[in-house]
């Protein structure tokens, strides 16, 4: 019994020491707020994705299945390709850095991280 506990403790320690690159280790937070502007009758929203990870992240991919907007976003900030959105063209996002973009659609769309890479220097 003690050896199983030791093994599980060791695995937990390794997972904290070497975090994975998928969204199960989700230290990215999303906030949305209405801007007060409208586009084609849809309320405009500002999205802030904040890196709360201990390390920088890159290649941040969000689930954009069924995402729609009347406002065209700068593809260097939010690149939409099918059901996946890539933040900042995959560039690095530092700890506590926020990436912001606008969209116009109702109801609000939940941008959920699919995957990202962490880089600790």
What pLDDT digit, counting tens, does each position of 57-114 carry?
Answer: 999 999 999 999 998 778 999 999 999 999 999 999 999 999 999 999 999 999 999 9
Residues 6+ apart with CB under 8 A from 45: 32, 33, 34, 35, 102, 103, 104, 105, 108
What is the domain-level CATH number for residue 104? 2.60.40
The token duo for 91 is 């560039």
Residue 6 has pLDDT above 60, yes or no: no
Into how many domains does the chain fold? 1
Determine the structural domain holding residue 42 and report its residue range: 2-119
The pTM is what?
0.77
């Amino acid at each position: 019994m003690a050896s199983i506990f030791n093994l599980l403790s060791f695995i937990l320690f390794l997972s904290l020491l070497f975090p994975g690159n998928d969204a199960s280790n989700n230290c990215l937070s999303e906030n949305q707020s209405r801007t007060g502007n409208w586009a084609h009758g849809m309320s405009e929203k500002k999205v802030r994705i904040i890196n709360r990870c201990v390390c920088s992240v890159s290649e941040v991919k969000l689930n954009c299945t069924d995402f729609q907007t009347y406002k065209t976003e700068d593809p260097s900030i939010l690149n939409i390709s099918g059901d996946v959105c890539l933040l900042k063209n995959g560039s690095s996002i530092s700890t506590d850095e926020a990436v912001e973009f606008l969209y116009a659609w109702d109801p609000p769309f939940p941008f959920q991280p699919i995957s990202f890479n962490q880089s600790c220097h």
